[in-house]
Amino acid sequence: MRAAVRVGAVTGASAVLAGWIWAAGSTRAPLWTVTLPAVGAVWTLTLLHHGYLAGREWAHRRRRRTSRDRRAAWAPAAGVRPPIDYPNVVRRPPGGAPVDLQGRYRATGVRLAVLPLLAVLFLTAHTVFLPDGGALGVGFVLAECLLLGCLVWTVWTEQHPSRPWVVDRVRAELFRREMFLLLAGVGPYMGLTDRQAALVRDTRTALLADADPAALDRFARLADQDPDGGQRDWRDEVWRRAGDPAVTAGGDPGDRMRTYLDHRIRRQRLFMELAAEKCERSEGVLGRAAKGVVLTAVAVAVAYAVLLGAVPGGHGPSTAAMLVALLAAGLPPLCNSVLAVQNLLAGQRLAVSYRETRQELLDHENALRRLLEEPEGAERARGFRTLVMRTEATLTEEVRRWRITVAKPEFDAGL
């Protein structure tokens, strides 16, 4: 469905551009000629927007294919129960689509990164090829004004552009965290009966479903708020209330430990590993592209100087020299566009955070495996609850770092 919409949008824009070119060439009317560059600019932006989204989906499918073996190796054993098989644990309610929101946010950011480049190319084309002006020359100037106007308008009107994506991802992670707090009987569910735990679960998930960014920040804290304004850290409560029952129902406590190991720790560790690789790959591609553009710009500048030096006195520059001039003018802003996209994706910073979280999860995994080998009893139950709180603290901190990295008050745009 999405692919059909994208194809339809690009096809429609291409048909409009082709019709405009035909009308401008056949009628020679000033109106068609003046507006032709602006139509070409709109077609370029449409192609860029939908091309980015199509490339993003293709890259996602490719990563799914290449990671199939690792995802298959993660698959829990047949005897490991999924979290929703335990009392009171429910699926995360349907909500937004963080991946789609991420795509729209980044597609807009990529478009803004390319707008200055297109503006420079349109102005350079007018200066180099149409120095005497004319209808088409005026059209190139108007198209440049349109591009810069779109740039300024988007930056001014798109305040907190990443907020929908950030809020949806944070809410999804907190819903997931709630499942495993309930599974282990820690945090707000510590020492509660099944009936009490169900009431607390319903209250907290209802609050989470409607939480704004400020409420999500408060919800993310691993602590209860006392009436006097103080906070009781859930990690401390595990030791203060060591005599409370771990969980009230659901079979062998070892089952919950194995479920938590496979469906929480190992699964999140795999996610962090794949996400870090994706970020490092994109960072490497963009870094190499920026360096390549800089080297190409130097070579083109030298070639342009040689071509200008070869022009006989009293003659204008050749067509080849004008094309090289257009290329020489476009390469520096192209480098800036690549760097802007690199900053938008923040691949290096995110990869560092993912790698750090993955290592911490590996430590938690090893600790839980050792815990599973110990004899059943109150000491092992307390160790499990302590480990769950450490793991949830690790994952909550990762979400906090991620939010700081990707959240923007407005788009960055350079001219």
The answer for residues whose C-beta is within 8 angstroms of residue 131's C-beta and 6 or more apart is: none
The answer for residues whose C-beta is within 8 angstroms of residue 357's C-beta and 6 or more apart is: 268, 272, 394, 395, 397, 398
Cβ-in-10-Å burial (0-12, 13-18, 19+) of 243 comes to exposed
CA–CA gap between residue 155 and residue 112 (Å, rounded): 8
- pLDDT in the model for residue 370: 95
- Phi, psi values for residue 188, rounded to 5°: -70, -10
- pLDDT in the model for residue 249: 47
- pLDDT in the model for residue 191: 83
Helix axes 319-345, 267-309, angle to 10 degrees: 160
Average pLDDT over residues 131-149: 87
Q: Are strands 231-233 and 223-225 parallel, antiparallel or unpaired?
A: antiparallel
Q: Are 381 and 253 in contact (CB under 8 A)?
A: yes
Whether the per-residue pLDDT at 316 is higher than 80: the answer is: no
Whether the per-residue pLDDT at 10 is higher than 70: the answer is: yes
- pLDDT in the model for residue 376: 86
- pLDDT in the model for residue 117: 92
- pLDDT in the model for residue 13: 87
Q: What is the pTM of this model?
A: 0.88
- In tens, the pLDDT along 79-110 reads 899 998 888 888 776 655 666 889 899 999 99
pLDDT-derived band at 171 (thresholds 50, 70, 90) equals: very high
CA–CA gap between residue 116 and residue 224 (Å, rounded): 49
Average pLDDT over residues 167-177: 93
pLDDT-wise least confident of 87-96, 158-167, 373-382:
87-96
- pLDDT in the model for residue 6: 79
Helix axes 98-129, 30-66, angle to 10 degrees: 140
CA–CA gap between residue 40 and residue 163 (Å, rounded): 32
CA–CA gap between residue 119 and residue 133 (Å, rounded): 17
Average pLDDT over residues 7-23: 88
Whether the per-residue pLDDT at 157 is higher than 50: the answer is: yes
Average pLDDT over residues 396-414: 89
- pLDDT in the model for residue 111: 92
- pLDDT in the model for residue 248: 47
Q: What is the mean pLDDT of the chain?
A: 87
- pLDDT in the model for residue 231: 76
